[in-house]
Amino acid sequence: EVGDKVTVKALNTEGEIISLTKYEAMIAVGRLQMRAKLGDLEFKSRPKDEEPQMESTPINKTRSPGLELDIRGRRVEEGLSELTMFIDQAFLSQMPWVRIIHGKGTGKLRTAVRKALKNNKHVTTIEEGKDGEGGAGVTVVKFNEN
């Protein structure tokens, strides 16, 4: 069932089923998602009286997302989706600043990231990384006081 805890035998890694078909399951392992055949999974048994419950996380107990988000090599849409979640978590964690590593490449991702950051109400300043930080491949973001 969706929500069940499983172990991926080949990786000896525990995860949670997030979607299920007749032959395979999509499993969340930390922040990663992977697809595995049902035969490659070891299902954890749930006590009979335990009903699946929705987990809730109070907003004031947000986990720190870390100081950097590395989205090099991502498509613009995918990178912006990760950026939005990361910026929200960083702001709620009361971080003073973060670094976004988008790489230099064609510049499409950098342009989209900086445009999105300029339109974000939590962001005070956006600066290009210094030479020792990655230069044009990095954007340093500073937040409003929250």
Contact, 14 vs 29, CB < 8 A? yes
Q: Write out pLDDT tens, residues 129-145.
A: 888 888 999 999 999 87
Lowest mean pLDDT among 41-50, 91-100, 126-135: 41-50
Q: Residue 69: which of 88, 46, 94, 48 has the closest Cα?
A: 88
Supply the pLDDT for residue 50: 54
Supply the pLDDT for residue 113: 96
Q: List, in sequence order, every beta strand (DSSP E) within 12-67.
A: 13-20, 24-29, 32-37, 41-43
Q: Is 136 helix (H, G, I), strand (E, B) or coil?
A: helix
Supply the pLDDT for residue 37: 86
Residue 91 identity (one-letter amino acid): F
Mean residue pLDDT of the chain comes to: 83
Supply the pLDDT for residue 62: 46
Answer whether residue 78 shows pLDDT above 80.
yes
Answer whether residue 64 shows pLDDT above 60.
no
- What's the predicted TM-score (pTM) here? 0.55
